[in-house]
């Protein structure tokens, strides 16, 4: 028997992550709108949804909206009075995402903030935003270390910190990369117990770094 990541991915997706019209519509509109196909996979989307449900998340912060595909999964994990705040630098991406959130019937739970994420994160802190239960970092990889620094104070104790696409660059290149630096940083923080979960993609593997902001006692 041979390792076949594509086959494994399709098996899991067909059983556990069937795509409804909101999700296929989001992918179609991203494609016709010329957005890059760099969204999470169906199986990773389901994993994100489950992680949010596990901690009963009511407030989620996403850095990197694209067309709202991962965001729909997060929004579906939220209660009716929950909120997904999602940060995006590209106005066209944000427009496509808004339509996709509307089609999915979750737009009332989503707040898309347009602008460079580092600035918006600074603004959220300055505004005294309520703490988030979950933070998902998935924007420009060079910014990950900065997003860690800026978003950690916005995360509640016991909250989940997730970072996407943290495996291939970190392992396959000798060069310094944003995700490699990110993994090294969180691995070195005793108050942030962490692990990289390998994620199946259609071709090969990627990684999702999962960290918990531990309580003072932890």
Chain contacts with ligand SAH (rule: CB under 6 A): 38-40, 64-66, 69-70, 87-90, 93, 116-117, 138-140, 143
Q: How far is CA 197 from the centre of its chain?
A: 14
Q: Does 138 bind Mg ion (CB under 5 A)?
A: yes
Cα angle for residues 56, 109, 153 (degrees, 5° grid): 60
The C-alpha atoms of residue 212 and residue 210 are separated, in whole angstroms, by 7
Q: Which option in Mg ion, ligand SAH, none does residue 148 bind, with CB closer than 5 to 8 A by kind?
A: none
Q: CB nearer to ligand SAH: give 102 or 140.
A: 140
Q: Which option in ligand SAH, Mg ion, none does residue 66 bind, with CB closer than 5 to 8 A by kind?
A: ligand SAH
Q: Which option in Mg ion, ligand SAH, none does residue 165 bind, with CB closer than 5 to 8 A by kind?
A: Mg ion
Q: Binding residue for Mg ion (CB under 5 A) from 44, 133, 164, 169?
A: 164
Q: How many residues does the chain have?
A: 218
Check if the beta carbon of residue 184 is closer than 8 Å to that of residue 209: no
Q: Nearest to residue 162, comparing CAs of 190, 134, 201?
A: 134
Q: CB nearer to ligand SAH: give 68 or 159.
A: 68
The angle, 0 to 180 degrees and rounded to 10, between the axes of the packed helices 144-151 and 178-187 is 40
Q: Does 169 bind Mg ion (CB under 5 A)?
A: no
């Amino acid at each position: 028997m041979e390792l076949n990541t594509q086959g494994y991915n399709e098996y899991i997706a067909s059983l556990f992550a069937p795509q409804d019209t909101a999700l296929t519509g989001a992918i179609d509109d991203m494609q016709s709108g010329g957005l890059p196909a760099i969204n999470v996979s169906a199986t990773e989307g389901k994993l994100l949804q489950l992680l949010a449900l596990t901690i009963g998340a009511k407030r989620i912060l996403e850095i990197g909206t694209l067309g709202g595909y991962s965001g729909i999964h997060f929004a579906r994990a939220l209660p009716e009075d929950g909120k997904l705040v999602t940060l995006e630098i590209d106005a066209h991406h944000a427009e496509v995402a808004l339509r996709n959130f509307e089609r999915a019937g979750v737009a009332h739970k989503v707040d898309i903030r347009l602008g460079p994420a580092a600035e918006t994160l600074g603004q959220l802190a300055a505004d005294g935003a309520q703490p988030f239960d979950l933070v998902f970092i998935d924007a420009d990889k060079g910014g990950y270390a900065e997003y860690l620094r800026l978003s950690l104070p916005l995360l509640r104790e016991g909250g989940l910190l997730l970072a996407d696409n943290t495996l291939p660059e970190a392992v396959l290149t000798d060069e310094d990369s944003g995700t490699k630096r990110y993994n090294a940083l969180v691995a070195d923080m005793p108050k942030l117990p962490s692990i990289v979960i390998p994620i199946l993609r259609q071709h090969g593997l990627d990684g999702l770094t999962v960290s918990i902001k531990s309580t003072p006692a932890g």
